[in-house]
Structure 1
Amino acid sequence: MWENRNNKVFKNKYVSVDQAEEDVKFRVVWWFKHYAKGSKDTVTAMLLNIKDLCIDVKPAIRTVSTAWLPPALITLKFNVYGSALGKPGQVGIGGVLRDFKGNVLCSFSLFIGVHESNTAEIKAIQKACALCVSNYSLIGRKIEVISDSNVAVSWVNNGGFGNINHVDTIYDIRSNLAILAATVVSFASRDSNHMADRLAKMGSSKMGEFVLWGGCLVL
């Protein structure tokens, strides 16, 4: 909080309340993970359950939203999201790969520069597909890459290239989908993409980049 205050006072750098809150959460979780003893949880799991790990927290009033639904027994779901702080603005992408039990097999949160929102969404899909190709055990698995952007999903699936600025990205996605064979890209509402949404916002706020495979951090 003091760092954010100094950025505002001395550098005229605005930090929203949401950004400041996520920054605090991220720093607390990383401190606890690396300096406190006893936690075997992943950083992602701790971020999502931080309120349950704290003392004297008043229960928040939550609105009803569409819950994440597990895939079929042999299918994996890779929810992805892109977050842009402005038009254009700082862009972060995030994603989480889960099995039918909800076990997190892979997660990522990355800052990719200054872009507009559609670039954020298509880059998130690209990263998920690239990660799947990079893991030999996922080749041939039935995977559904899910984005909440109808525009980005249509660019991947409609046979054209949608936007001249994204030709290389879309070509790369389709090349990886050809390797994965049983993987598809589909649309779902943002409410069911909550975890990927938070990871992307962490990326856009430059709160620490990571790719996590089964509890192993890859910087």
Structure 2
Amino acid sequence: MLNGPPLERVWKVNIDGSAFGKPSPTGIGGVICSWKGKVLLMFPKNVGVKDSNLVELLEVVETLTIVANANIDLLLTSLLKVTPTSSQLGSKKMKNITFVHILKEADHFANSLAKMGVHTSCYFVAWL
């Protein structure tokens, strides 16, 4: 587990999904920070009525879609207990991705964005 800054030239990505049942309305959210701790991007997104297990994969795919053209290493932290395979990620190729499982308590910001995503009707991505 990791709850500190990543190595130099690595973006730290915190993502989470939110569901209020199985299946139910769901949302995903994430925040990307530089190795210096500066927030670079944040997003909430409604992903419709889905199974909560599928939402966990969608949060990873959505994040990789957003940063697909960035030539940077990623440290992706999430509540995922299983790392997605390259076939599940499809054509989402990054320079280097490290997946780290974190506890729910360490991810309040991404969790709040995911809950916001459940209740939003538009897609919002903010590069800061």
**Native 8 Å contact 1:68 1:193 kept in 2:** no
- Equivalents in 1 of 2:9, 2:2: separation in Å? 20
Is 1:146 the counterpart of 2:60? The answer is no
Render the CA deviation track for 1:16-39: whole Å, top value 9, x for unaligned.
xxxxxxxxxxxxxxxxxxxxxxxx
Letter in 1 for 2:91: S
Is 1:106 the counterpart of 2:41? The answer is yes
Q: Which has the higher contact order (CA 8 A, sep 6+)?
A: 2
Render the CA deviation track for 1:79-108: whole Å, top value 9, x for unaligned.
110101111110000000001222111111
- Equivalents in 1 of 2:46, 2:78: separation in Å? 18
Letter in 2 for 1:105: L
Q: Which moved more, 1:119-128 or 1:180-189?
A: 180-189
Letter in 2 for 1:150: K
The sequence identity of aligned pairs, in percent, is 30
Matched with 2:91 is 175
Alpha-carbon RMSD: 2.2
- Equivalents in 2 of 1:201, 1:127: separation in Å? 16
Question: Structure 1 residue 76: deviation in Å?
Answer: 1.0
Task: Assess, with a 3 A threshold, how the Cα gap between structure 1 residues 195 and 82 changes in structure 2: closer, same or farther.
Answer: same
Which residue of 190, 197, 209 maps to 2:111? 197
TM-score (structure 1 length as normaliser): 0.53
Please identify the structure whose Cα radius of gyration is greater.
1
- Equivalents in 1 of 2:31, 2:22: separation in Å? 25
Matched with 1:209 is 123
Aligned-partner SS, 1:123: helix
* Off by >4 Å, runs of 4+ in structure 1: none
Question: Structure 1 residue 129: deviation in Å?
Answer: 0.6
**Native 8 Å contact 2:12 2:75 kept in 1:** yes
Question: Structure 1 residue 123: deviation in Å?
Answer: 0.4
Equivalent pairs counted in the alignment come to: 128
Unaligned stretches of 5+ residues in structure 1: 1-65, 162-169, 215-219
**1:1-219 mapped onto 2 (5 Å cutoff):** 68-133=3-68, 136=69, 138-139=70-71, 141-151=72-82, 153=83, 156-157=84-85, 170=88, 173-176=89-92, 179-206=93-120, 209-214=123-128
